[in-house]
């Protein structure tokens, strides 16, 4: 995942785009997108060029404040004879390892990379000359609605509101009699000490809930931004571009990388399905798991397609225009029945047919690189196979 951002001046290809698209890019700089998000602004100050070093902070932080502290707190209360669900209890330990060492650090990574990934994708289009002039007939500058989508304090209130709501629901669930996650204990280890719970555990864990809320909010705004780019500016797809999709591969790669976050949630569901097998029980393939996998399958196209829909329409428009420009002369030549023109028409017809085949084969209508899409497809089915394969093997050898 590319996370390094070089804040260089993009060199557009025309005088008109020098003003309009450069201004458009300025509105989408990562610092602008983080304006109303104090946590992201802090991360960008600490790690101004790359998000990968954040993992070097997240992993030791959770190791020390969650696992090391959890083992110490659990051991002290266990010695005192209190019936708590300890941090090293195998019924929750493997889930905790996945959550604190894989899921949460990767959410941190996606959270900080998302604005940088958008800016990198659009800047690469401009520097390669893919983005051209503003389309004629536009009555409103494209940046107005983007300021409404990104530069809005309401986004922060939504993220904070969602975080508080999720925390309230979860805290309330701890008081539910016979909560299955408590395995018969009065409560988990991290709730025994109120100071640790409210000052350490809740900020560390629910900061991730806050990040997920912001990822969703920004993805909606980013989808609006990307589609507005292709509605507002002419594009100039490049024939035989190395990315294999006429120079628009950066847009498809961005969408695919955001889709990996959905795959990460799929692995969470898969772990819930196979978790009983760690203790000699059957795979948990019940209605709730199957329903969640159905939602997972639906979420993947909803994550991949909306951000690239504008690019798809623009690429399709360009290809249709080029095909029509070649098809009309071909139709005219075929309709010419004058015997004196047959030989000359045949030579011209052969050349036009060659051009038509090149346009049909080499101009694409989706910005997804084949290699990236194949890799994502394999990754997408892994959570499903992780859950279903043990289920069918269990049925086959019962």
Residues 30 and 73 in one domain: yes
Q: Note whether residue 365 is domain-resident.
A: yes
Q: What does each C-alpha distance from 343 to 63, 139, 332, 346, 359 come to in angstroms?
A: 79, 50, 15, 5, 25
Task: Output DSSP code: residue 131.
Answer: E
Residues 95 and 244 in one domain: no
Q: Note whether residue 132 is domain-resident.
A: yes
Q: What does each C-alpha distance from 219 to 111, 124, 135 come to in angstroms?
A: 10, 19, 25
Q: Note whether residue 230 is domain-resident.
A: no
Residues 179 and 241 in one domain: no
pLDDT in tens, the chain (398 residues): 654 444 444 444 444 444 467 777 877 888 888 889 999 999 999 998 888 888 888 888 888 888 888 888 888 877 777 777 778 888 788 888 898 889 999 999 999 999 999 999 988 888 888 887 777 655 555 544 555 666 678 899 999 999 999 999 888 877 665 666 666 666 788 888 888 889 999 998 899 999 999 999 999 988 988 888 888 888 899 988 899 999 999 999 999 999 999 999 999 999 888 888 877 778 888 888 889 999 999 999 999 999 999 999 999 999 999 999 888 888 877 776 666 665 667 778 888 888 888 998 999 999 999 999 999 999 999 999 998 888 787 777 76
Q: Note whether residue 165 is domain-resident.
A: yes
Residues 284 and 197 in one domain: no
Burial of 385 from C-beta contacts in 10 A (0-12 / 13-18 / 19+): exposed
Q: Note whether residue 5 is domain-resident.
A: yes
Residues 124 and 257 in one domain: no
pTM, two decimals, is 0.85
Collect all residues with Cβ–Cβ distance below 8 Å to 115 and sequence separation of at least 6: 28, 30, 33, 34, 40, 218
Residue 179 near residue 11, CB atoms below 8 Å: no
Residues 304 and 377 in one domain: yes
Residues 182 and 245 in one domain: no
Give the residue numbers spanning the domain of 353: 237-398
Residues 48 and 91 in one domain: yes
The residue ranges of DSSP E strands in the chain, in sequence order, are 131-134, 233-235
Residues 49 and 161 in one domain: yes
- Counting the structural domains of the chain, the total is 2
């Amino acid at each position: 995942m590319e996370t390094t951002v070089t804040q260089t001046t993009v060199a557009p290809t025309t005088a008109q785009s020098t003003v309009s698209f450069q201004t458009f890019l300025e509105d989408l700089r990562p610092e602008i997108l983080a304006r109303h998000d104090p946590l992201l602004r802090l991360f960008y100050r600490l790690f101004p060029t790359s998000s990968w070093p954040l993992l070097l902070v997240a992993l030791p932080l959770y190791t020390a404040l969650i696992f090391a502290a959890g083992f110490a707190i659990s051991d002290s209360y266990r010695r005192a004879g209190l019936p708590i669900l300890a941090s090293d209890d195998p019924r929750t330990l493997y889930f905790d390892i996945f959550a604190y060492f894989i899921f949460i650090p990767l959410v941190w990574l996606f959270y900080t990379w998302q604005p940088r990934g958008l800016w990198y994708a659009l800047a690469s289009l401009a520097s390669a000359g893919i983005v051209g002039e503003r389309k004629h007939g536009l009555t409103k500058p494209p940046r107005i609605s983007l300021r409404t989508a990104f530069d809005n304090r309401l986004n922060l209130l939504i993220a904070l509101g969602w975080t508080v709501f999720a925390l309230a629901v979860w805290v309330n669930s701890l008081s539910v009699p016979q909560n299955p996650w408590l395995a018969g204990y009065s409560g988990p280890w991290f709730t025994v000490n109120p100071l640790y719970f409210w000052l350490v555990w809740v900020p560390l864990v629910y900061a991730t809930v806050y990040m997920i809320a912001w990822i969703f909010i920004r993805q909606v705004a980013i989808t609006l931004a990307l589609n507005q780019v292709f509605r507002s500016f002419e594009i100039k797809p490049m024939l035989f571009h190395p990315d294999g999709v006429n120079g628009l591969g950066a847009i498809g790669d961005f969408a695919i990388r955001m889709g990996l976050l959905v795959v990460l949630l799929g692995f969470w569901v898969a772990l819930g399905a196979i978790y009983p097998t760690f203790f000699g029980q059957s795979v948990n393939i019940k209605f709730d798991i199957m329903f969640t996998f159905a939602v997972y399958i639906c979420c993947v196209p909803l994550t991949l397609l909306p951000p690239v829909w504008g690019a798809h329409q623009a690429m399709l428009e360009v290809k249709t225009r080029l095909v029509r420009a070649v098809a009309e002369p071909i139709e005219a030549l075929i309709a010419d029945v004058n015997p004196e023109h047959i030989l000359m028409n045949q030579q011209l017809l052969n050349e036009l047919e060659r051009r038509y085949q090149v346009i049909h084969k080499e101009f694409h209508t989706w910005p997804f690189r084949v290699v990236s899409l194949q890799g994502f497809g394999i990754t997408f089915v892994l959570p499903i196979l992780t859950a279903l394969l043990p289920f069918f093997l269990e049925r086959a050898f019962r």
